[in-house]
Structure 1
């Protein structure tokens, strides 16, 4: 797991300036660096995972070309490593082969299954449709699928929930069942009907708190689509139009937020940045390592991770005005 240093914002940079802080602490020279693709593993452990995966594919009769984050078989089918890698990371290495084999069996079965969009009745499709948030960079050929930008680097897509997997609507399937607007609205309604699993109120070093909704559902993070109403429903706090809220989606099982109310937004931004970076690096289904601010019309990305592991805070004139107002009022 990556180590972190505290982020501090003791003053507000000028418009478009950046506050640079070392949230990702550099490891000592003798400590091995994380793998570039499977960041929860060290470089050497990731190599051992890929070697084991190659052997499992061979045992299943598949010759594959292994890449850092995925494998491709002779027919062009792509097998992602992130999710199964994150599962293996949490288990003894002696269990990896069996875990990878079970995962591969499920993936291959999904390839052979009939097209769910061709066998489900329209009412069944409607009840199984969810809005789902994804890391935009993780979706190959994204133009083949209806989607919209939710926040920089994060897209909302249409998911069809099935007993053992999740299918994604392409343009043809979306048009067949009513089009983007109708399906997107139904997907939001179905998100609202999901059970609340685990709500945490987390203290930020230096003052203030932020909330994290956690759950086993692969749609937990997608409930960010319900903000700020979700925050009001669960905590009773209402967003002030001029101040907005902070939001992050580390992985598919977590959505994090803070309603901006006072000067604690500064330490809360620090706490959320640390929590988000760890949740992104160490869990399956990663979405984004960044913290965002709702500016009244859309989300602004507040954080960026540089190549050397340094986290920078980008302060737009709008967010700078909020910080100054909070500091003055506090």
Structure 2
């Protein structure tokens, strides 16, 4: 299995929290953001992924950093100021949950995946780990935006589990936008579901049923499947059947790294394997910035079993 020792270089080593920036660019962004806060009369304590003012209000940095990502640094100050003005205005806006009925909310609720590092103050919201670095939360779909359920709002409208059941059902009703099978050199392939919906990647929550439904393939529980969600518009999988998994995992690693680094809405650059009870991370960023594939004893046992079946 020497192929697993190959590395796919990432375009750049990302900042640990604002992952579409390098560490130096992210620090520059944080410095400018703090200065803009001060210009607006707010003293804040800067954290890697958010800022906190004297009133204990948290300001997430992810969205404004994403907006600045494709702009030259000289334009960041204006973009940050405009964003913060909108956020401050929204603090005084009515809570959208107050204008909805118990009938409206379930129809507009979706289970949705988020990169854990992009969610400051995550303990204030009901969530569960989906895969390492990725969390599942409850999202309320509104005409112009999406808002996340707090614990209070989730309890008000039936609780996390009941809302999640409706959120999963709403995911299942979404149309399949673009489905592609990507063959790998030397054999093997993986499947990519792509779309403009903000919930496309969240359909990873429907695996393996979604994969079986779209491909007609039965999942062998003793082997599991591979999954990646590079950004919110992509979910990728491979049902493990034979030794072509070797080409699939390498191809998916490259696809995920590119889809993650090139997106303003990244989720994870990694490939995961369902081990029967949870997702195990197969890829990791090495010291030189490359993406290495890590074969755990459990995954190695699957590879050996596949080889023995041949």
1:151 aligned onto 2:131: yes
Q: Relative to structure 1, is the Cα distance of residues 54 and 152 closer, same or farther in structure 2, using a 3 angstrom cutoff?
A: closer
CA contact (8 A) 2:8 2:254 kept: yes
Q: Relative to structure 1, is the Cα distance of residues 118 and 312 closer, same or farther in structure 2, using a 3 angstrom cutoff?
A: same
1:316 aligned onto 2:308: no
Match for residue 77 of structure 1?
57
Distance between the aligned counterparts of 1:137 and 1:45, measured in 2? 17
Distance between the aligned counterparts of 1:76 and 1:184, measured in 2? 30
1:247 aligned onto 2:227: yes
1:219 aligned onto 2:199: yes
Distance between the aligned counterparts of 1:50 and 1:142, measured in 2? 20
CA contact (8 A) 1:201 1:211 kept: yes
1:116-195 matches, cutoff 5 A: 116-195=96-175
Deviations 1:207-262 (A, max 9, x none): 32212222333222111011122223333333223322101122222211111122
Match for residue 46 of structure 1?
26
Of 154, 176, 183 in structure 2, the residue corresponding to residue 196 of structure 1 is 176
CA contact (8 A) 1:86 1:282 kept: no
* Aligned length in residues: 309
The alignment partner of 1:219 has SS state of: coil
Query: Which stretches in structure 1 are left out of the alignment for 5+ residues?
Result: 1-8, 12-18, 28-32
What is the TM-score normalised by the length of structure 1? 0.80
CA contact (8 A) 1:306 1:312 kept: no
Distance between the aligned counterparts of 2:264 and 2:23, measured in 1? 18
Q: Relative to structure 1, is the Cα distance of residues 219 and 145 closer, same or farther in structure 2, using a 3 angstrom cutoff?
A: same
The alignment partner of 2:103 has SS state of: helix
User: What RMSD, in angstroms, separates the aligned Cα atoms of the two structures?
Assistant: 3.0
Match for residue 327 of structure 1?
307
Q: Relative to structure 1, is the Cα distance of residues 181 and 40 closer, same or farther in structure 2, using a 3 angstrom cutoff?
A: closer
Higher relative contact order (CA 8 A, sep 6+): 1
Match for residue 276 of structure 1?
256
What is the TM-score normalised by the length of structure 2? 0.84
1:24-39 matches, cutoff 5 A: 24=9, 35-39=15-19
Q: Relative to structure 1, is the Cα distance of residues 227 and 77 closer, same or farther in structure 2, using a 3 angstrom cutoff?
A: same
What is the Cα deviation at residue 270 of structure 1?
1.0
Q: Relative to structure 1, is the Cα distance of residues 275 and 84 closer, same or farther in structure 2, using a 3 angstrom cutoff?
A: farther
Query: Which stretches in structure 2 are left out of the alignment for 5+ residues?
Result: none
Match for residue 2 of structure 2?
10
Q: Which moved more, 1:163-172 or 1:60-69?
A: 60-69
